[in-house]
A and B are shown apart, each in its own frame.
Chain A
Amino acid sequence: MAIRTLLVANRGEIALRIQRAARELGIRVVQAHSAADRDSLPVRLADAAVEIGPPPAKKSYLSIPAIVEAAKKVGADAVHPGYGFLAENGEFADACEVAGLVFVGPTGDTIRAMGDKVEARRLAAEAGVPTVPGSAGRIHELEEAREVLARTGFPVMIKAAAGGGGRGIRIARDAEELARLWPQARAEALAAFGDGGLYLEKRIERARHLEVQVLGDGRQVIHLFERDCSLQRRRQKLWEEAPAVRLDPTVRERLCAAAVRLAERVHYRGAGTVEFLFDEDRGEFYFLEMNTRIQVEHPVSEEITGVDLVKAMLEIAGGAPLPFRQQDVVPRGHAIEVRINAEDPGRDFAPHPGRIASLELPGGPGVRIDTALYAGYEVPPFYDSLLMKLIARGRDRAEALARLERALGELAIGGIPTTAGLHRLLVRAPEVRGWDVHTAWLEPWLESNREKLA
């Protein structure tokens, strides 16, 4: 049954993004918000708003009972979790279902299967998706690691089975380092995730991060091609592109088909992303993890395919089949997204909440801004530092880069430091223009450009 009233259980730019999709579908929008977000743009623009708790996320955006109760109170029939917060919490998806609410996303079981990184690896291998050489399952004792090392060699990564998003990863360059890091990794995994299970993976040097956007209706799955998110700092993406630069068409075909196979294996419902490491020299890709939600960088895929992913999510959640077929998804041109964060690149990216004293936004052909900022807005200290996504599209990468550079020149955010200046440097960096980058490229570059960032 099509959704009539949607509770948006998130904040900031993604809350607004969801509202826009819902409104175009004629869905009534209720915005859930914490006490800190009363004056936010999503609250102002929604048909109604409901307060779910005090500022700290744990007591508001992360509170399952508060959100389910709010949804019932406002008469919502569906809940969109956005990204972060409860978006990949299987218990939340279950709690919605038990309360008679549609969770806009996959089932709790799918979320749990993909959230367990060892189980996800196993499912990927089963679906014929290449995985990074490593342990087949979780390892509890260091002795069990010996035979895995015969296949991976050094350097090797120690990862937490319950981790994800780059958290809890350690790199060991030799046996001695492995023996030293193992107990630390185990204790940290136990403290951070309540699960001390670890696994080992071969460390692929100079790899690029590619990911495939998939969309499923619980029966069929299609893909919307890939994104390249190789520019990262501390495993956090800062710059994303679609399509991937210099990707051989046959590799692209294999990559996208692999992602679809994995999503089909779990009868995927909604929008999801299958992440891969790409070894450009060998033309090989390896499954990393699957994110069972809409992602921050989804707009670049929307820009090259013309598909509104959030709208498709809402239609599918309302019971509709996939709104288009694979052959209807035709990529065109190139898109680049940069993340403008409330962080000071000159001070080791220290987060900086505060008042937006002034705001001048770029516009013109091929420029899209996803943000919930307005002049006079007070950026609260309690949540993520993402302020704005600036997306530039062109008929090819050169035009997208030129538009991005032009748009960054028009953008002016007054009052707090942001990462806009960093992107003005990056867009002119020869390595970025030539895409001679990998996931570990940005950090040393930041180090050697320290004075320009100050």
Chain B
Amino acid sequence: MAKKEILSPLPGTFYRRPAPDQPPYKSEGDPVAVGDVVGLVEVMKSFNEVKSEVEGKLVRFLVENEDAVMAGQPLAELEG
């Protein structure tokens, strides 16, 4: 089974939920299709959706909610 990664398109702060009181976009074990939103990256107070460019099963997140991320940094690991 091939391992795949979802990379952050931008530098900023990573969020797993659309809003603090809402459930996360994706949880570990969830299926991910191409174009699925897996989180948000906040860049200078503007929020950008992170869409997956790969498909598979979400194995684990590689960063925590609200972590600082760099452009190109792997955010989550997928398999299948």
B11 touches A381 (CB 8 A): yes
B13 adjacent to chain A (CB < 8 Å): yes
- The one of A54, A55, A381 that contacts B44, using a Cβ cutoff of 8 Å: A381
Contact (Cβ within 8 A) A56 B21: no
- Whole-angstrom distance from the CB of B43 to the nearest CB of chain A? 5
Q: Does B19 contact A (CB under 8 A)?
A: yes
Interface size bracket, B side: 10 to 19
Q: Are A36 and B68 in contact (CB under 8 A)?
A: yes
A342 at the interface (CB under 8 A from B): yes
Q: A56-B13, A191-B21, A381-B12 in contact; A353/B66 too (CB < 8 A)?
A: no
Q: How far is B13's CA from A353's CA once the two chains are assembled, in angstroms?
A: 13
B45: CB under 8 A from chain A? yes
Q: Is the CB of B45 within 8 A of A59?
A: no
A383–B11 Cα gap in the complex (Å)?
A: 12
Contact between A353 and B43, CB atoms less than 8 A apart: yes
Partner among A58, A342, A353, A385 whose Cβ is within 8 Å of the Cβ of B11: A353
CA distance A1 to B4 in the complex (A): 61
Q: Establish whether residues A54 and B11, one from each chain, have CB atoms under 8 Å apart when the complex forms.
A: no
The residue on B at minimum CB distance from A188 is B19
Q: Mark contacts of A373-391 with chain B using CB atoms, 8 A cut-off: 1 yes-contact digit, 0 otherwise.
A: 0000000011111000000
Which B37-68 residues have a C-beta within 8 angstroms of A? 42-46, 66-68
- Find chain B residues with CB under 8 A from A191 CB: 19, 21
Q: How far apart sit A56 and B67, CA to CA, in the bound complex (Å)?
A: 7
Q: Which residues of B contact A54 (CB under 8 A)?
A: 67-68
A175 within 8 A of B: no
A136 sits at the interface (CB 8 A): no
Interface string of A44-74 (1 = CB under 8 A from B): 0000000000111011000000000000000
B44-A353 in contact (CB<8A): yes
Give the Cβ gap from A57 to chain B, nearest Cβ, in Å: 8
Q: Which residues of B contact A384 (CB under 8 A)?
A: 44-45
A191 to B12, alpha carbons, bound, how many Å? 23
Partner of B66, one of A36, A59, A350, A351: A59
A351 touches B46 (CB 8 A): yes
Most-contacted residue by chain A among B11, B21, B42, B43 (CB, 10 A): B43
A54-B68, A55-B68, A58-B66 known; A381 vs B43 contact (CB < 8 Å): yes
Separation in Å of the A361 CB from the closest CB of chain B?
A: 22
Shortest distance in angstroms between B8's beta carbon and chain A's nearest beta carbon?
Answer: 10
In the assembled complex, the CB of A166 is this many whole angstroms from the nearest CB of chain B, namely: 13
Complex alpha-carbon distance, A351 and B19, angstroms = 21
Q: Which residues of B contact A342 (CB under 8 A)?
A: 44
- B10 CB within 8 Å of chain A: yes
Pairwise interchain contact A56-B44, C-beta atoms closer than 8 A: no
Q: Is B11 touching A56 in the complex (CB atoms < 8 A)?
A: no
**Cβ < 8 Å to B, chain A residues 402-441:** none
Q: By the criterion CB–CB under 8 Å, are A383 and B44 in contact?
A: yes
Shortest C-beta distance, A85 to chain B (Å), equals 12
Contacts of B10 in A (CB 8 A): 381
Measured CA separation A58–B44 after assembly (Å): 13
Residue of B21, B46, B68 with most partner-chain A CB within 10 A? B68
12 residue pairs from A and B, CB less than 8 Å apart = A54-B67, A56-B13, A56-B67, A191-B21, A351-B45, A351-B46, A353-B43, A381-B10, A382-B42, A382-B44, A382-B68, A384-B44
* B→A interface (CB under 8 Å): 10-13, 19, 21, 42-46, 66-68
Q: Could you list which residues of chain A lie within 8 angstroms of chain B, going by C-beta atoms? A: 36, 54-56, 58-59, 191, 342-343, 350-351, 353, 381-385
The list of the 5 closest CB pairs from A to B, nearest first, reads A351-B44, A55-B68, A381-B11, A381-B12, A385-B44
For the A-B complex with A59-B66, A384-B44 known, give 19 more contacts whose Cβ atoms are closer than 8 Å.
Answer: A55-B68, A56-B13, A56-B66, A56-B67, A56-B68, A58-B66, A191-B19, A191-B21, A342-B44, A343-B44, A350-B46, A351-B44, A351-B45, A353-B11, A353-B43, A381-B11, A381-B44, A382-B44, A385-B44
